């Protein structure tokens, strides 16, 4: 009885931690794709309610590239 509960709790915790890390990896890959694909970045901005012109789009890409370089 107790072993079933303990195994269930441990499985839940491991699943949550694993899901978090898989989500982080997926998000990083999406951000890397947006750096090289301005249309994808503009689409994301429109979904958030922003309408970016070419200058703003270039600035956002440069900020993403600079931020990536500073973290590694």
Rounded Cα distance, 19 and 21, in Å: 6
What are the residue ranges spanned by the domains of the chain? 2-71
pLDDT-based confidence at residue 22 (cuts at 50, 70, 90)? very high
Q: Are 60 and 35 in contact (CB under 8 A)?
A: no
Q: CA 46 to CA 26: how far, in whole Å? A: 21
Confidence of residue 24 (pLDDT cuts 50, 70, 90): very high
pLDDT in tens, 42-72: 888 888 888 888 888 888 888 877 776 545 4
CA distances from 8 to 16, 17, 58 (A): 12, 14, 48
d(CA 42, CA 56): 10
């Amino acid at each position: 009885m107790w072993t079933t509960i303990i195994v269930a709790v441990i499985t839940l915790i491991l699943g949550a931690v694993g899901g978090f890390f898989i989500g982080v990896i997926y998000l990083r890959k999406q951000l890397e794709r947006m750096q090289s694909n301005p249309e994808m970045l503009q689409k994301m901005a429109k979904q958030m309610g922003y309408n970016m012109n070419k200058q703003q789009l270039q600035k956002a890409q440069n900020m993403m590239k600079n931020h990536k370089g500073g973290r590694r």
